[in-house]
Amino acid sequence: MTTVAKTRRRGFPKWASSTIGIVAIIAVWWGVAILFQLRSPKYAPIPTPVQVLQALFAESPDWYWRMFSVTLGEAGVGFLWGNAIALLLAFLVLIIPALDGVIMQIAVVSYCLPIVAIGPIALIVLGGATSPGDLSGTAVFLAALSVIFTTVVGSLLGLKAADRSALDVVSVYGGGRLAQLLKVRLVAAVPEIFSALQMSVPAAFLGAVLGEYFGKIEQAVGPALVAAQVQLNSGLVWALFLLCALIALVGYWLMGLIGRLVAPWSKGDRR
């Protein structure tokens, strides 16, 4: 009986189950959208998939490029700064163990800070974009802030999981904590570090979009979403947030691919 069940499971391709799930989600979405439109014919907050596609193709590719290129730039700069700070903090914990509690508190505080409270302060200190097409300092800061906790925790899990015997070998040959970090811990933690970086990609993009909501930027995804909401263009709002989700998913996948190429042993590849 078990063999038959396994055979049936193997005979059902993964793409088929994924397709069924996507079709089911679209069907439910369509049904809910129709119900909302029947209740409120003038303005429906949930558009149908057809209305989203119509709104998506109503704008030119150049318009989307101008909006998303700014947000991607802010997310990219914030991603680099935030992860650089997070990795530095994680390395300090291994070099100076007494800083463990302090650094973990910093990471937790960065995660728990409410964006609504910290955003206006960052806007006053850092400002927004000086001209259309420029990056917003507030959006970069919130993108960096959004990735610190994830990268610190993920990196520390990998760094502290290094092989004890390899660490003892470094100590026997006169190496200190820094030598252990560079020769053993860092190599062992590469898969976990890339997993943390993978999760921080969508977090950085979301932080950049949220930073744009506080104003002083004219050309980006955030202002485009605000304008679409003011115009009651729910189709464009949904099109923009679906594109944001797609971009975050692609970035997540690309970082995972880089992690598998850099550390193939994490997936069981002996090469």
Instruction: Assess whether pLDDT exceeds 50 at residue 265.
Output: yes
Residue 104 CA to its chain's centroid (Å): 21
CATH 3.90.870.10 fits 52-267, yes or no: no
Show the tokens assigned to 49.
């998939």
At 227 the three-state DSSP class reads: helix
Distances 174 to 3, 169, 179, 181, 258 between C-alpha atoms, Å: 56, 9, 9, 14, 34
Q: Which of 203, 220, 186 is nearest to 145 (CA)?
A: 203
- On the question of pLDDT at 216 being above 70, the answer is yes
Band (pLDDT 50/70/90 cuts) for residue 270 is very low
The mean per-residue pLDDT over the stretch 168-174 comes to 81
The letter for the amino acid at 151 is T
Alpha helices (H) along 173-220: 177-180, 186-188, 190-212
**Arithmetic mean of pLDDT over the chain:** 84
pTM of the model: 0.84
Cα-based distances in Å from 86 to 146, 170, 214, 265: 11, 25, 25, 24
| Residue carrying the six token digits 């193997």 | 10
Q: Per-residue pLDDT averaged across 74-97, rounded?
A: 93
> What is the token pair recorded at 142?
């919130």
Q: Which of 157, 251, 239 is nearest to 202 (CA)?
A: 251
Domain ranges of the chain: 52-267
Range of lowest pLDDT (106-120, 194-208, 239-253): 106-120
CA distance 81 to 75: 10
Closest CA relative to residue 185, chosen from 168, 167, 165? 167
Work out the pLDDT band at 11, boundaries 50, 70, 90. low
pLDDT grade, residue 10 (50/70/90)? low
| SS3 category, 238 | helix
